[in-house]
Amino acid sequence: MELGHPGLVQKLVARLEREGPLSFAAFMEAALYDPDFGYYMTAGPRIGREGDYYTSLDVHPIFAELVGRQVAQAAEAIAPSGEFTIVEMGAGKGLLAKHLLTAYRRDNPDFLARLRYLLVERSPVMVETQKQRLRELRDAGLSVAWVPDLDAIPADSITGVFLSNELVDAFPVHRVVKRPLGLREIFVGWDGSRFVEIEAPPCSSALEAYFARLGISLEAGQEAEVNLAALEWMRLVGARLRRGLVVTIDYGHAAVDLLAPARKTGTLLGYYRHTVSDSPYLRVGQQDLTAHVDFTSLALAGQDVGLEVTGFTNQLHFLIGLGIESAFAGLDPESPQVAAMRELLRPDGMGTTYKVLVQHKGMLAPQLDGLRSRPYFKDALMRLPSPHDPLHSGEQRVPREGQGEGHNAQNPHPNPLPDRERENISVVP
């Protein structure tokens, strides 16, 4: 099987020969974001039927419409008049912006008139796709703009909402394993014909500090990912928010579940043409790489910059709280629309693997419909390991993420719906 994009493999090998082994995070950064050859930086369908994986935004526009409904409700508490900003980070194909703004144009023109929509996207290829998708809305006079990173947004300047769907799972992660001598980091080397893993003491004390802050120790032989980039991102976001919310939607768990001994080999996965791979060293630059999100660490990092947890729930409860069921009303239960909405809510798939973390700053916690039923809420994020929890008792072993057949709770991205169904999906009236 191919090692990957020839230009990227050559570049990486030259770097490894020059600098020695790289942290896995540096390897993943190159695989996804090398400016010349990285997976997200080169042309290609990537997300959707022609690409490698689906997100909720591909499943049905109702997802974006309900997120928009949540933002509009929150806006009443954040700033009932004056300019309001939505900052969407990692917008991919621009579907969230398109469907959310289209729904505002139809249902909420007064809010739209005071709304500024700012997209933060590091991939120039994705920015082009987003610009094309949003051209009609921009031509109609809506305020939509782009910046390449959060540094372009002044500190303490945003009144509004920072929004992301599947951003944090796309950040490069460090990988660690617990050995008798302590925590070891996994580095990547080159043996002359293939990429190989090398264990060595961690490159930064931040890796040990990450587990110490959580009060969690890995078991002997257990592997895990550490997303230091997510902590830095949360700090940057918090520093830019003056008054409002951060809404982070992604697949992941509270730390106590994500780092449970039963999850022996971590959650790192590759996606290529809707199949899951557990080797990051094949198709380098040609397959997506991703790891589940530790929402507890995000919440803790947020606290350092004044972000309080408003609530934490899963996609199923979030969408039901926002009234997704009323969109089903009157539709044929066998229709593609209903099939798509069921996909978003599946208790053994997107409905529970995907979580929603809401944080607020500069205001009291607002009442939000999406957090009405609270299966997790804050306490779940801060829970510590308990011997009564099956994931911690040694009674259960979770297979490597993605090993289960097809659509299961381990593999966050849904299998594609049959073509016939997908082609017939249209916006729910």
Ligand X SMILES: C[S@@+](CC[C@H](N)C(=O)[O-])C[C@H]1O[C@@H](n2cnc3c(N)ncnc32)[C@H](O)[C@@H]1O
The footprint of ligand X (CB under 6 A) covers 40, 47, 55, 57, 89-92, 120-123, 126, 149, 165-167, 170
Least CB distance from residue 125 to ligand X, whole Å?
8
Rounded (10°) angle between helices 205-214 and 295-303:
100
Residue closer to ligand X (CB basis): 53 or 312: 53
Q: How far apart are CA 417 and CA 410, in angstroms?
A: 18
Least CB distance from residue 293 to ligand X, whole Å?
11
Q: How far apart are CA 54 and CA 43, in angstroms?
A: 17
If 0-12 CB within 10 Å is exposed, 13-18 middle and 19+ buried, where does residue 358 land?
A: buried
Positions of E strands within 268-380: 269-272, 275-277, 288-290, 293-294, 308-314, 354-361
Residue closer to ligand X (CB basis): 261 or 270: 270
DSSP collapsed to 3 states, 79-90: CCCCCEEEEEEC
Q: How far apart are CA 218 and CA 227, in angstroms?
A: 16
* Amino acid in position 47: I
- Which element (helix H / strand E) includes 350? helix 350-353
Residue closer to ligand X (CB basis): 33 or 187: 33
Residue closer to ligand X (CB basis): 166 or 343: 166
Rounded (10°) angle between helices 62-78 and 95-107:
70
Strand pairing partners for 182? 179
Residue closer to ligand X (CB basis): 150 or 338: 150
Least CB distance from residue 407 to ligand X, whole Å?
17
Least CB distance from residue 270 to ligand X, whole Å?
13
DSSP 160: E
Least CB distance from residue 37 to ligand X, whole Å?
14
DSSP collapsed to 3 states, 60-117: CCHHHHHHHHHHHHHHHHHCCCCCEEEEEECCCCCHHHHHHHHHHHHHCHHHHHCEEE
Least CB distance from residue 149 to ligand X, whole Å?
6
Strands 288-290 and 308-314: unpaired
Least CB distance from residue 250 to ligand X, whole Å?
9
Strand pairing partners for 277? 270
Q: Please, what is the end-to-end C-alpha distance for the chain in angstroms?
A: 46
Least CB distance from residue 40 to ligand X, whole Å?
4
Residue closer to ligand X (CB basis): 260 or 357: 357
Residue closer to ligand X (CB basis): 148 or 201: 148
Residue closer to ligand X (CB basis): 214 or 316: 316
Residue closer to ligand X (CB basis): 99 or 175: 99
Least CB distance from residue 130 to ligand X, whole Å?
9
Least CB distance from residue 225 to ligand X, whole Å?
16
Residue closer to ligand X (CB basis): 146 or 377: 146
* Contact call for residues 120 and 97 (beta carbons, < 8 A): no
Phi-psi region at 225: left, alpha or beta (left = phi > 0; alpha = psi -120 to 50) = beta
* Contact call for residues 369 and 76 (beta carbons, < 8 A): no
Integer-rounded Cα Rg, in Å, for the chain is 21
Q: How far apart are CA 208 and CA 202, in angstroms?
A: 8
